[in-house]
């Protein structure tokens, strides 16, 4: 493996890519604690717990993200994160508010979707019972 000064980081949500770009370092949190990754870090895979992800970009700026649970794969000079939910923040103070409002709305949307699915399942069972009819 060649040495590099940066790594390609992709942060994916179930419905879209939240971030894709070059970074010189990254910090995240796994079930066993916080860790950092540099471009020439050893390849590995780990679970990600709900936490804050920070990226130092090649231009020296920093990006922060509030993440839900997910998976991180580091191979070569590529890091791919797939998380259930995530939001980008400007600073830690505003990130907390953004996470709270976004995740609460997502939880409500998921609750409504589960309720609609339960109604559909109940209706399907009722219709199958009607098709079967009374015993002969």
**Structural domains of the chain, count:** 1
Task: Choose between 26 and 131: higher pLDDT.
Answer: 26
Residue 79 lies in a domain: yes
- Per-residue confidence band for 106, with pLDDT thresholds at 50, 70 and 90: low
- Per-residue confidence band for 72, with pLDDT thresholds at 50, 70 and 90: very high
Residue 118 lies in a domain: no
Candidate from 60-64, 68-72, 85-89, 91-95 with smallest mean pLDDT: 91-95
73 DSSP β-pair partners: 45, 80
Residue 44 lies in a domain: yes
Is the model's pLDDT at 51 over the cut of 80?
yes
Range of the domain at 77: 7-89
Residues 9-44: tens digit of each pLDDT:
999 999 899 999 999 999 999 999 999 999 999 999
pLDDT mean across residues, the chain? 85
Residue 131 lies in a domain: no
DSSP state of 32: T
Q: Is there a contact between 62 and 54 (Cβ–Cβ < 8 Å)?
A: yes
CATH of the domain at 55: 2.60.15.10
Residue 103 lies in a domain: no
pLDDT at 119: 82
Residue 2 lies in a domain: no
Residue 130 lies in a domain: no
Tokens representing 106 are 């997502």
Residue 60 lies in a domain: yes
């Amino acid at each position: 493996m060649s040495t590099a000064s940066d790594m390609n980081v992709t942060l994916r949500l179930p419905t879209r890519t939240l971030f894709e770009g070059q970074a010189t370092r990254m910090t995240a949190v796994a079930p066993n604690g916080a860790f950092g990754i540099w471009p020439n870090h050893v390849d590995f895979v780990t679970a990600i717990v709900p936490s804050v992800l920070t990226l130092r970009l090649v231009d020296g700026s920093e990006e922060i993200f509030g993440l839900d649970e997910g998976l991180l794969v580091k191979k070569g000079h590529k890091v791919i994160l797939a998380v259930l939910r995530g939001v980008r923040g400007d600073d830690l103070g505003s990130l907390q508010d953004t996470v709270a409002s976004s995740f609460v709305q997502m939880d409500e949307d998921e609750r409504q979707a589960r309720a609609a699915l339960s109604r559909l399942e109940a209706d399907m069972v009722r219709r199958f019972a009607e098709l079967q009819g009374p015993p002969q």
